[in-house]
Structure 1
């Protein structure tokens, strides 16, 4: 039996909160790892299904679009069916999608099954954030976000390592089958650990809002992600869906501000702390998550490392984040996020700035040191921003706030990835592309190319990476502007949020 007792919030997270956190972290690990693990398997899929890189890329694009389409309904679904039921259903759907992906017989079937997987995975993070915020209470939301941030930061690092290892020792099927045991444990764990919550009243879904926002996000992100293939934002395949998607999103904003029960309550932006936090999050996600794509590409394309080694070289970044994230989470609850976010951004400027001087043979000690500094900055930046966004919300606003944060996060990270990819590919010369191909796909380059030509190509490729990192550096530095307005003292909780619920099982 599960009951909820309100007690004054203490600074430390109790055993009950950590039990709930374990469920949420398991779900987040599956959802986030699946993006990066499948990214590693793109070449394998192309060979296995005899498909072009553009067709195979839909195995990632389809998943991302499904995430974008389903996230907006998270708040309504949680209110209508309860967070526990929605979370369990999402786990089951993600598990079914994973099993189907492992049985795919063509690239078309794989993409279709990835969409099913994405529909489940898209709800895991926003619903998980709702569950965690309610379990710990707004007074400890910083500590909660620090726990939830571990899979969010380590996923991009562990994914290439795990994906490369599974493909090397087994087959591509295990990229998806690995989710089965984790998912079964998560479902059983969630069944017993999550508290039962029921909506006091079941709101009707905002049908107009759903028809505007979900397709709008999906179309906009489809256009954004297509820019990576086209190498420009000027191609019709890119700007037409982006414009249509943007118009639908604008239509949703107009509708949401005029209806009583919108799919997503945009009136939350009247909360100054949430508004500043969201603006800071947008600039941060565009800046950092775009540049994060470049590190493994450099290690593999220019330095000739395997996917596994490239993932291991990124480990210092995760280590740095693990050191600062728990401390920043606890201290944010006591002192507010402003000081930590500003300090973290300074570290990120130093860490990203080091890659501006990248060469074809730059010392790994230098690069790993820079990645470690970046990790320290990441741990002090991303989760305090998210905790600031949620800490001032009233209990009845948590669902909408969590959904809003996840919509913004997904959109901004996709934009950042597209912008950096377009900049990077635009800077690549033919010689640089040839040199990178000699490491990535040596069987596809003409024989007899002089080593001097390849060496010059590697110089050009390293220069393209370095110049792209200048763009990333500028974007990270610009994030300091909105971060300057984040609260620099303990955030005052919303009325009715001064008690943290303790879940008794």
Structure 2
């Protein structure tokens, strides 16, 4: 008897509730931290490029371990990986709440990210394993909805907690919820019997991917502080290049690769996947900088700034389903291209923010960002998955998610570096200066330059989306 047939209707609903809770917490924690970064930087007296690692470390591990835990779920059983993931996530959240230094906080975020990667990687697969077919579409729709709610709620909850309690509570709030979810999971999720191992796990590929990405992010983020020609920075770039080459060689020769590079031989799949990564790169970089602009330059309270940062997520929730329906009817190529072009225009408008920018202008431009992303991603995902061969949809989906997360991680490092470089170049400020000691007014130009750079980068996404043809079979 299959697992889904052993569960009663009540047990199926409880399993879905636990999966929805994990999806909500994972997406919430991906967005709740950014709004608190100015407070964290002030608390530990560190510069902007250092505090950026609080966000990047989480995303780095998420990017590096998604493929790992998806594979381990197949090999070891989904219940075991899910409960382990929730336990690690809850432990990491607890440690983050009591971090005694910025280095400790970054390290504890790595632990938290490992748990989040396990939850995100196997959540959709658990729907297929534990829930009946007639309930599957509804369940996946619920998971998609709660992910969007988590993304939207993150800045709001984070802003309110930072303003009225302390930034530590953006992490500690996860602990009681996590403990309840672990207890419920142990009681409600049945053990899944793994009868055979589907191939060997590519441990070497996983290690190479993680350290190749980490050794690239570190010099991008620290080059301004240490000097771009310093041995440490040049050496790290060189190590990263070698590791990426070794990773590609490993994946093309491995019998059970972590990443199937054969999919990238399809130019349409490659173009659409790169377009998704670029869109996330630009948006995440801007989203990282906005709290410093809102709180430091415009003087908004963290709670109000959190409400503003939730606007793109809310717009994405509204326009995403509409765009998905339109892409099914009219095709994906045109929608993805037009929405990427709209993002370019919107980022150009945001690059004109000043100390005197009206709240109405800010709200409208942030709304346009959400519309652009909401219209872009459903047809873009159709482009990607439509190019995946039969029985390779899972591989295509995991690559798509990983590339978006990599883009998000690189975006924070790149846009933060561009903003600070502009400030240093024009004012002579020491890049090691704690963020709290920098007159925030001078960050306006750095912010505007970084957003303008993001607009220029997204032009590549426009071109790539136009190149990526629809699969006739998806129309």
User: Quick check: TM above 0.5?
Assistant: yes
Find out whether 1:209 has 2:205 as its counterpart.
Answer: yes
Superposed, 1:60-459 pairs within 5 Å as 60-105=55-100, 107=102, 109-131=104-126, 148=144, 151=147, 155=151, 158-187=153-182, 192=188, 196=192, 198=194, 200-227=196-223, 230=225, 234-391=229-386, 393=388, 396-428=391-423, 441=436, 444=437, 458=441
Paired residues of 1:274 and 1:392 also in contact (CA < 8 A): yes
**Which moved further from structure 2: 17-26 or 280-289?**
17-26
Find out whether 1:472 has 2:467 as its counterpart.
Answer: no
Once the two structures are superposed, residues 473-504 of structure 1 have per-residue CA deviations (whole angstroms, 9 ceiling, x without a partner) of: 222222111111334476549xxxxxxxxxxx
Instruction: Return closer, same or farther for 1:279/1:369 CA change in 2, 3 Å cut-off.
Output: same
Once the two structures are superposed, residues 254-294 of structure 1 have per-residue CA deviations (whole angstroms, 9 ceiling, x without a partner) of: 12112222232222224454323212112222232222223
Q: Distance in 1 between matches of 2:283 and 2:54?
A: 24
What is the Cα-based RMSD across aligned positions, in Å?
A: 4.0
Q: Distance in 2 between matches of 1:346 and 1:256?
A: 34
- Residue 483 of structure 1 is matched in structure 2 by 465
Q: How many residues align?
A: 462
Once the two structures are superposed, residues 11-66 of structure 1 have per-residue CA deviations (whole angstroms, 9 ceiling, x without a partner) of: xxxx9999877655532432343344344445655676687877766544543443
Paired residues of 1:28 and 1:152 also in contact (CA < 8 A): no
Structure 2: runs of 5+ lacking an equivalent: 430-434
Q: Distance in 2 between matches of 1:363 and 1:30?
A: 33
Paired residues of 2:127 and 2:139 also in contact (CA < 8 A): no
Paired residues of 2:259 and 2:395 also in contact (CA < 8 A): yes
Paired residues of 2:85 and 2:119 also in contact (CA < 8 A): yes
Paired residues of 1:76 and 1:203 also in contact (CA < 8 A): no
Bigger fraction of residues in helix: 2
Q: Distance in 2 between matches of 1:197 and 1:395?
A: 26
Paired residues of 1:321 and 1:379 also in contact (CA < 8 A): yes
Once the two structures are superposed, residues 148-173 of structure 1 have per-residue CA deviations (whole angstroms, 9 ceiling, x without a partner) of: 37636863x54343223223333444
Instruction: Return closer, same or farther for 1:237/1:38 CA change in 2, 3 Å cut-off.
Output: farther
TM-score relative to the length of structure 2: 0.81
Shift of 1:429: 5.9
Q: Distance in 2 between matches of 1:238 and 1:179?
A: 36
Shift of 1:305: 1.2
